[in-house]
Chains A and B, each alone.
Chain A
Amino acid sequence: MINRNLILILLLIFFPLKATALIKVDITRGNLSPLPVAVASLFSSEEDKKKLNKELKIDDIGLEISNIVENNLQQSGLFNPLDKEAFLQKPDIAHLKPRFEDWALIKAQALITGKVNLQDNKLRVEFRLWDVLAGKEMLALAFTTVPKNWRRVGHIISDKVYERLTGEKGYFDTRIIYVAEEGPKTQRVKKLAIMDQDGFNTKYLTLGNELVLTPRFNPTNQMVTYLSYFKNLPRVYLLDIETGIQEVVGDFAGMTFAPRFSPNGKKIIMSFAKDGNSDIYTMDLENRIVERITNHPSIDTSPSYSPDGNYIAFNSDRSGYQQIYVMKSNGKNVKRISFGKGLYGTPVWSPRGDLIAFTKLHKGKFYIGVMRTDGKGERLLTENFYQEAPSWSPNGRVLIFYRETKTDSKGEGFSAKLWSIDLTGYNERLIETETDASDPSWSSLLSN
């Protein structure tokens, strides 16, 4: 026994285990430039092309859908769609089995291929997302819908690709409601309008007889609440988008404004002004019970719920200057969160719950910015002559707002346009609309 132990000890001494340390290299920086992605035209047979052309008056629907995807990905600022002219492989063959070397040669890191056909008068679109460098399929899905929904298919594909490559939900299959404006500045005709987030499929919801402002979607995107000056009395209204039925919200003996839905869609929160004082109220849409939330001799307005419905952000001039405050949904624990110089207004809680977007006015310039819900970490994303009313994309990455241009000495040159900016503050884009536009509000995702 002693001998065995002795041998073991001697072996361990004479032949020590030689541990070679594995080299470890920390990679803490990377490339934040947009990911190069190849979006191949979705393939369809000549026969299907003819049928679809007859129905939709579009020559190559596969190409059009791929263009929608390409445009969405480019607008996000996170992707760089490559020029289709540079593609070496035909889309139909690529959809079956891509030659990854060919796609890597043009520096693509991801590839989207697809196929469109008509089955029983329904449009069937399938697509695949490929990891070019790993040489494998990342995602494959197929959708069936009525042919006239072809644009939405493009948006849904964009959302799926965006989610698979970035790790967060997309925001392309969404709509934007806004106030369409026409005519000279002093006699503006304002109508409620709704469009896809990329500016297509615009529809007008009101005729323009009354002034309309601040439209907001409910969580299911079926209803809209907005402010309208009917017979010169500003009141909050509710509109069912599908039926077109409108109704006044509550029976207030005064002016109601700045409406917004609660996250569960059961209440409307708004401001009610009477005798020079304005406070925040809610109205339950089921039982019509009105509840007063703030009670302060100052102007409390622009309320916005946190996504969990437990808190409300609003702006108030109770400190002497307009600042942003946060309180519990029952009106208790009011806390001021903005302390920077200038005036702060229109707070909007991010759908993620981590940030509050706001408009800031300082030294004659307007800023759109974000801050954390405790008021720390204020970041101003964009600065201009006049801009306000930020609204979040459903994934909390992009803000849409409107910007007005100055009128020149002749009273001309005024315009109001919708713009979007992402949280980095570098991807600012104009959103094309048929007319001038203001007060945008982003819907939630139409499909999940």
Chain B
Amino acid sequence: MNKNIIISSGFHIILIFIATLSLPFLAKKPIDLPPIVSVELIQITDITNIPFAPKAKKIIEKVKKKEKLVSEQAPPKKVKKEKPDAIPLPDQKNEKVQKIEEKKQNPEKIDDKVKQVSEFEKDEMFDPNVIAALIDKSKEDLAETTEKQDKVTQSEDSSMTLSGLTLNEEDALKAQIFGCWSIPLGLPYNENLLVRIKLKLKPDGSVIKTEILDHARMNKPGQAFYKVLAESALRAVQLCQPLRVPTTGYERWKDMQLNFDAREMLEG
């Protein structure tokens, strides 16, 4: 019994020792971070390298146009062209005309009943007696939020090194491929339009090998469009090479996966 306890304690000590000393050294890897991360993040938020997609521009213009049309609409006047498809017939009886249905396309539900405030909602109402407590609590919350924000920044930093590309680097690569990818417009937009392509790259960004990860889908019945989509993605990679990859850290990005998804563009 004592022997087992001693063995168990011994292992525990070894484990704790290894965990505290060895692992951090093993896990440590050269950090390749841009010196001022926060500035970079702000730049990306405000100005991006990605060109404003022409389709998106068109959509916005179209939406604006539509909104204008709707806003200009007046109560419709009953005008009919003399055409057999639509003509009012001469003997049309007036009494047969029914009331206009006052339906809307997306009618908003109006709840005209007076809402009763539940006990739970009452508790949430402002109470001057607990104002001091609220002030104190808000201070605590603020402190907690600041702490959380710091943690988030740190985790972002580490994820950036692990994922291999900084936001700027990813931004540049995306912008380049956006310009090369001619999306086939006949694809059924209600289908899964994701093509995953694995690349093996040379240090200068030229492509050594491409591999379609869902290759089996190409030959499935009813998925003929997938072949068309996958080929367009491969063409984009070929057309774009050498890819705009970072000048350093080849080991990080020598293998890369591009997820081409046409759905957003085609639905728009």
Contacts and interface: CB of A to CB of B under 8 A. Distances in A.
Interface stretch (A30-38, A50-58, A63-71, A245-253): A30-38
B78 A27 contact: no
B238 A133 contact: yes
B86 A320 contact: no
B253 A29 contact: no
Contacts of B165: 23, 25
A204 to B, nearest CB: 22
B239 A23 contact: no
B104 A380 contact: no
B91 interface: yes
A262 interface: no
B228 interface: yes
Interface residues of B, number: 89
Nearest to B198: A22
A342 B75 CA distance: 8
A200 interface: no
Contacts of A362: 69, 73, 76
Given A32-B55, A298-B97, A363-B72, A22 B84 contact: no
B47 interface: no
A227 B83 CA distance: 11
A267 B93 CA distance: 30
B217 to A, nearest CB: 13
A32 B93 contact: no
Interface stretch (A114-122, A144-152, A160-168, A175-183): A160-168
Contacts of B164: 21, 23
A199 interface: no
A370 B236 CA distance: 32
A380 B257 contact: no
Contacts of B83: 388
Contacts of A276: 89-93
A27 B88 contact: no
Given A22-B256, A275-B91, A343-B76, A32 B265 contact: yes
A339 B256 contact: no
Contacts of A301: 84-86
Interface string B55-88: 1101000100010011011111011110111111
Nearest to B261: A28
Contacts of A346: 85-86
A16 interface: yes
B260 A167 contact: no
B105 A13 contact: no
Contact of A30 (B84, B173, B183, B188): B183
A257 B264 contact: no
B105 A302 contact: no
A16 B88 CA distance: 83
A361 interface: yes
Most buried by A among B185, B236, B258: B185
B186 interface: yes
Given A276-B92, A339-B104, A363 B73 contact: yes
Interface string A10-29: 00011010001111111111
Interface of A: 13-14, 16, 20-33, 35, 78, 109, 131, 133-134, 138, 162, 164-168, 213-214, 227, 234, 255, 257-258, 271, 273, 275-278, 297-299, 301-302, 315, 317-322, 336, 339-343, 345-346, 361-364, 375-376, 379-380, 386, 388-389, 395, 397, 424-426
Given A24-B258, A27-B260, A167-B184, 5 more contacts: A23-B165, A23-B252, A27-B181, A131-B231, A168-B225
5 contacts: A214-B85, A317-B97, A322-B80, A389-B85, A397-B186
